[in-house]
Structure 1
Amino acid sequence: MQVAIIGTGFMGVTHVEALRRLGVGIAGILGSTEAKSREAAETLGIGRAYKDFDDVLSDAAADAVHICVPNAFHYAYAKAALIAGKHVMCEKPLAMDSMQSAELVEVAKGKSLAAGVCYNLRYYPLNMQARAMVEGGDLGRLFHINGCYIQDWLLHESDYNWRLHSDIGGPLRVVADIGTHWMDMLSTITGLEIEAVFADMSTVYPTRKRPVGGSVTFSKKVDEAGEDVAIDTEDYASILLRFKGGVKASLYVSQVAAGQKNALRYEIYGAEKSVTWDGQRPNELWVGKRDEANNILIKDPTLMAPSAAAVASYPGGHAEGYPDTFKQCFRAFYDYIAAGDFSARPSFPTFDEGHREILLCEAILKSHQLERWVTV
């Protein structure tokens, strides 16, 4: 397999590194300009710098396309790549709205192509262990779920990024950017589907200072004075969720939580046991009990369920983290392609799941606007 990478920023580089660890070849890379394409190709040791997206589509050597560009481009690039007969792995969200994502689902149907969305965080080994425990009945009947996904990289008024603007990133920012990761993880772990939401959101800086010379995602605070720009996306959201079957959940997400660099957490409570996991300590799963001592499972494939051990590449005591989740997500994607049965149930996050997350975002936005429960 040979892959064309679209995007030269944080995500594009991350995808390149993960694919190389799997032995998947990189056919070429495309940046926002020809100069950026050439610079990235030289820096990353990639043989071809694409001139434009048409150059990508016409490259017979590129079997698949990884889309790692701002959200506003996802729909058009994914659709064109599928029509050109290329497999697609798209960064989330899949599209700007559910009309676009529904169309992409339809375009992907009936083709002998893989169409995936990069909800990679479900692939932490201990998330798969929690899933096996739920499926095996270890937790008993599920009662409720709590959690958060919080960051601080947009804490200051001068912090700036393209994701702040709805015309580029979509009408929701923190919910779509990181909240959907949490919802995907918990749906994957529990096997449950969210049926209704109640949301409240806030924007702490209605106006931000666009730094002189632009900014880089997760970069250090920029002190240069910049122009005032209006912000029309949320910095914080608290969401009540109801799953089919009656299980309740609460989630809060923020990108203005001082000191929280990338805190992704959940607590799942059942009649028999509970499990708690923190993405900043990803190799530990806390197991809570009432009538005996609690314990912490340290990631060790020999002590885990086979389905969880399958996404753990290293033995016990050897930590696995964020970059490994991309590797495991892409492994599932390319193993599926290699198997050649495109009627089989995919083991990677699909366009259908990406569409579902956009429907969730739209229900969350509607709930905030109407100040009431909204059915997904």
Structure 2
Amino acid sequence: MGLVGPGFIAAHHLDAVRRLGDVEIVGIAGSSLDSATRRARELNAGKAYANYRDLLADPAVHVVHNTTPNYLHREVSLAALRAGKHVISDKPLAASVQEARELYEAARDANLGHVVTFNYRGYPLVQQARAMIAKGDIGQSVFVHGCYLQDWLTDERAYTWRLDPKLGGASSALGDIGSHWCDLAEHVTGARITAVLADLQTVVPQREGADGTRHDITSEDLASVLLRFDNGVRGCVTVGQVLPGHKNDLRLEVNGRDGSLAWRQEQPNELWIGHHAKANAVLTRDPSLLDPSARAYAHLPAGHPEAWADAFRNVIADAYTWIRSGAKPDTKPDALPTFAHGYRNSLLVDAMLTSHAAGGVWQTVDDPLEPTRTTRTRG
């Protein structure tokens, strides 16, 4: 593998690949040869390339991990596909719906592996919740709700390229973290969001950069969205990045006619099971108690916590399992998110922005050209 964009998340891609034990890290490309050389040395990541084109030209690189800023996702991923490389891209798939569709179609036509790192799918208890819902353990679902709350943008002196529409895209909170929640909700329930009604807010309308420059902010840092799913289920989600005390607070709850399930990312080794006429329960992550489809994602015995890096590793492991099998649609692990899911996610965020811009009205969500549901479980 080769990596393009050696920023914060790059180290976690490299860590996940190393943990697989059978993938060679050939090298990394950055914004310049000097920066790439420095990061390659810091990360012990092989050789440095002056730019991503040089990396793509190396026949030793079979898989490209795209961890560049959002505005470069389309350019780098498209070039990699055209060079015959499998691609593992950070989310969002691209900076706009149009670019996301272009990448989705290019990946579909290229017959290459194409993965978007919606990494919360990799938690064992997320897969357990999905299996329980599919088997009817909570009966017919009626309500899906939750949140993704952070506080890293609370201070008005916090400024990042993610808040610049030219670099991060039109959306901030929804595109950055709301996208994770929506993907998780659809994956766990097996249903699709068909309509949204969004109320967005910019709590901090002006921010100060590191150089003292003032920046007017046009993207949302707080959002509330009502949801409708294709199976008749209703839902809602709150997303915010200016909420003190919330570090990475992703929560998902699904209520059915016979029971409820709730999972929280900051307590990932527990799945809450709610009942009406008997005591509620908590399922602690224990491989011996998990559904077979979830068991393969738990690597330690009960009582040994597994967390974010382990879930990330699980998604990367699925990616390489698929690539080794030829990256055909019928061999894809069921939990693995592809460019089709990335494109669909872009459609969801775009529909939310459109709903808010229209004054808070229901907006129908378009669907990709092909289904994103898959048929094979991991293992």
Shared fold per TM-score greater than 0.5: yes
Report the alpha carbon displacement of residue 191 of structure 1 after superposing the two structures with TM: 0.3
Report the alpha carbon displacement of residue 345 of structure 1 after superposing the two structures with TM: 5.0
Give secondary structure in 1 for the equivalent of 2:314: helix
* CA distance in structure 1 between the partners assigned to 2:46 and 2:210 by the alignment: 34
* CA distance in structure 1 between the partners assigned to 2:363 and 2:111 by the alignment: 36
TM-score using structure 1 length: 0.94
1:288 alignment partner in structure 2: 274
1:211-360 equivalences under 5 Å are 211-212=210-211, 226-340=212-326, 342-344=328-330, 346-347=332-333, 348-360=336-348
Which runs of 5 or more residues in structure 2 are unaligned?
366-379
* 2:10 counterpart (9, 12, 15): 12
1:112 alignment partner in structure 2: 111
Give secondary structure in 1 for the equivalent of 2:47: coil
1:71-82 equivalences under 5 Å are 71-82=70-81
Give the AA of the match of 2:234.
Answer: K
* CA distance in structure 1 between the partners assigned to 2:288 and 2:250 by the alignment: 26
2:361 alignment partner in structure 1: 372
- CA deviation map 1:2-33 (0-9, x unaligned): x1111121111111111101122211011222
2:155 alignment partner in structure 1: 156
* CA distance in structure 2 between the partners assigned to 1:231 and 1:110 by the alignment: 38
* CA distance in structure 2 between the partners assigned to 1:330 and 1:272 by the alignment: 35
2:164 alignment partner in structure 1: 165
* CA distance in structure 1 between the partners assigned to 2:235 and 2:31 by the alignment: 40
* CA distance in structure 2 between the partners assigned to 1:112 and 1:288 by the alignment: 43
* CA distance in structure 2 between the partners assigned to 1:5 and 1:240 by the alignment: 38
Give secondary structure in 2 for the equivalent of 1:104: helix
Q: Once superposed, what is the RMSD of the aligned Cα atoms?
A: 1.0
* CA distance in structure 2 between the partners assigned to 1:190 and 1:59 by the alignment: 41
Q: Is the 8 A contact 2:228 2:235 kept in 1?
A: yes
Give secondary structure in 2 for the equivalent of 1:109: helix
Give secondary structure in 1 for the equivalent of 2:35: helix
Give the AA of the match of 2:238.
Answer: Y
Report the alpha carbon displacement of residue 110 of structure 1 after superposing the two structures with TM: 3.4
TM-score using structure 2 length: 0.94
Give secondary structure in 2 for the equivalent of 1:25: coil
Which runs of 5 or more residues in structure 1 are unaligned?
213-225
1:26 and 2:25 correspond? yes
Inter-CA distance 194–138: structure 2 relative to 1 (3 Å threshold): same
1:176-187 equivalences under 5 Å are 176-187=175-186
Report the alpha carbon displacement of residue 341 of structure 1 after superposing the two structures with TM: 5.4
* CA distance in structure 2 between the partners assigned to 1:333 and 1:206 by the alignment: 39
2:132 alignment partner in structure 1: 133
* CA distance in structure 2 between the partners assigned to 1:280 and 1:343 by the alignment: 33
* CA distance in structure 1 between the partners assigned to 2:296 and 2:290 by the alignment: 9
* CA distance in structure 2 between the partners assigned to 1:250 and 1:95 by the alignment: 25
Report the alpha carbon displacement of residue 107 of structure 1 after superposing the two structures with TM: 1.1
- CA deviation map 1:280-334 (0-9, x unaligned): 1000011010111111000001001011111111111111100111110011110
Report the alpha carbon displacement of residue 36 of structure 1 after superposing the two structures with TM: 1.5
Q: Is the 8 A contact 2:325 2:331 kept in 1?
A: no
